[in-house]
Amino acid sequence: MAILQDIAFILGTMLMYASPLIYTALGGVISENSGVINIGLEGMMTIGAFFAAMVGYFTGNPWLGFLAGGLAGGALAVLHAVACVIFDADNVISGIAIIFIGPGLSLFLSRLFFDGATQTKALDLSKKIPRPFNGVFEQNSPLDLVFNQYAVVYIAIFLVFLISFLLYKTRIGLRLRAVGEQPNAALTMGIRVRMVRFLAVVISGVLAGFGGATLSIAIVSLFWGSLISGQGFIALAAMIFGKWRPIPTMFACFLFGIAQGIVVYVGARVQGTISDLLSMLPYVLTLIVLTSLMEKGLAPEALGKPLRERL
Read off the pLDDT of residues 14-63 as tens digits, 9 standing for 90 and up. Answer: 999 999 999 999 999 999 999 999 999 999 999 999 999 999 999 999 99
| Rounded average pLDDT over 178-191 | 92
The pLDDT, as a whole number, for residue 294 is 55
Average pLDDT, the chain: 90
Could you tell me the CA-to-CA distances from 6 to 13, 109, 140, 169, 187 in Å, in that order? 11, 41, 11, 40, 54
The pLDDT, as a whole number, for residue 306 is 81
Classify the C-alpha dihedral 88-96-213-13 as positive or negative: positive
Binned at pLDDT 50, 70 and 90, residue 295 comes out as low
The pLDDT, as a whole number, for residue 77 is 98
Lowest mean pLDDT among 75-89, 163-177, 212-226, 297-311: 297-311
Give the separation between CA 96 and CA 110, rounded to whole angstroms: 22
Give the separation between CA 110 and CA 107, rounded to whole angstroms: 5
Give the separation between CA 143 and CA 109, rounded to whole angstroms: 41
Binned at pLDDT 50, 70 and 90, residue 311 comes out as very low
- CB atoms inside a 10 Å sphere around CB 36: 30
Residue 309 pLDDT > 60: no
The pLDDT, as a whole number, for residue 17 is 93
Read off the pLDDT of residues 51-79 as tens digits, 9 standing for 90 and up. Answer: 999 999 999 999 999 999 999 999 999 99
Secondary structure, 3-state, 117-162: CCECCCCCHHHCCCCCCCCCCCCCCHHHHHHCCCHHHHHHHHHHHH
Residue 181 pLDDT > 90: yes
| Rounded average pLDDT over 163-167 | 97
The pLDDT, as a whole number, for residue 310 is 45
Give the separation between CA 193 and CA 117, rounded to whole angstroms: 43
The pLDDT, as a whole number, for residue 273 is 59
Read off the pLDDT of residues 243-280 as tens digits, 9 standing for 90 and up. Answer: 999 999 999 999 889 888 888 887 766 665 565 666 77
Q: One-letter amino acid identity for 31?
A: S
State percent of the chain over pLDDT 70: 92
The pLDDT, as a whole number, for residue 227 is 92
The pLDDT, as a whole number, for residue 167 is 96
Domain boundaries, the chain: 18-229
Read off the pLDDT of residues 129-153 as tens digits, 9 standing for 90 and up. Answer: 999 998 888 888 889 999 999 999 9
Instruction: Give the chain as a DSSP string.
Output: -HHHHHHHHHHHHHHHHHHHHHHHHHHHHHHHHTT---TTHHHHHHHHHHHHHHHHHHHS-HHHHHHHHHHHHHHHHHHHHIIIIIS---HHHHHHHHHHHHHHHHHHHHHHHTTT-SBPPPPPGGGSPP-TTTTTS-TTSHHHHHH---HHHHHHHHHHHHHHHHHHHSHHHHHHHHHHH-HHHHHHTT--HHHHHHHHHHHHHHHHHHHHHHIIIIISSS-BTTSSTTHHHHHHHHHHHTTT-HHHHHHHHHHHHHHHHHHHHHHTT--SHHHHHHTTHHHHHHHHIIIIIPPTT-S-TTTT----S--
Residue 292 pLDDT > 70: no
Looking at the DSSP assignment, which residues form a beta bridge with residue 224? 119
Residue 293 pLDDT > 80: no
The pLDDT, as a whole number, for residue 39 is 95
